[in-house]
Amino acid sequence: MIVAVLSDIHANLPALDAVLASLGTVDAVWHLGDVVGYGAEPDGVVERLRDIGAVGVKGNHDDAACGGPSIAEFNPTARIAAEWTRAHMSPDTREYLTALPPTLAPVPDFTLAHGSPRDPIFEYVLDAAIARENLGAFQTPYCLIGHTHYPVAFRERHSGRAARFSMETLDPGGEAIRLDQRRTLVNPGSVGQPRDGNPAASYAILDTDALTVAWRRVAYDVGTARRRIVDAGLPRQLGRRLEFGE
């Protein structure tokens, strides 16, 4: 099965449309949360995901937009965006976001979570040490995560006869990686708000039969996304940051 893995769309409809147009033929679309927040088109993004039958999990911005406690952890700009989303999204969008589970195993070998498997809504898996601490929190060989907006993978590494395990960090670099018997956490990066210095939307293509993951980047109309943020009355800096991938 060929799966498009998307994360952190953040109500950026131009970015999502560019990604969907670039996919070609896939068997499924999985998303890793933060469908909304920051961007100006929560209803449009949810409509697209519903139309293609995407399945996924809840992120902290999805939780905050629906009145959840995540908003207490937000900086002032993120809080403004969450409150704007609460006030402007449709009842159908709210229903969709509220129903998202914190984790999901759509097929036997893969777990989906937004932040981390042990703390699906809030924790950032920023390095190999945190990835290793999460190995006991999921039972499948592989876990797909988002939240950091950074495309990366962390793979278990055996370090000798003492049976000690560490994690190695895999930089996608445009190359596919092969999943093997080693447990692995994979982050596809962000569709709607990349933060790795590259403004192009980031996502991954997973082949569950061949057990490969390939990262992809696709340029989109950042100017339109920025204008829609400004026109909606959201903080201008949310549009400016899209231009620099930060």
pLDDT of residue 164: 47
User: CB neighbours (10 Å) of residue 76?
Assistant: 8
Residue with tokens 């201008």: 236
Which residue, among 228, 144, 157, has the nearest Cα to 185 in the 3D structure? 144
Model confidence over 105-159: pLDDT tens digits? 999 999 999 999 999 999 999 999 999 999 999 999 999 999 999 999 999 886 5
Which residue, among 155, 163, 107, 159, has the nearest Cα to 135 in the 3D structure? 155
pLDDT of residue 151: 93
User: Where do the domains of the chain lie?
Assistant: 37-101, 103-246
Where does 103-246 sit in CATH, by number? 3.60.21.10
Model confidence over 137-149: pLDDT tens digits? 999 999 999 999 9
pLDDT of residue 226: 97
Which residue, among 224, 228, 222, has the nearest Cα to 40 in the 3D structure? 228
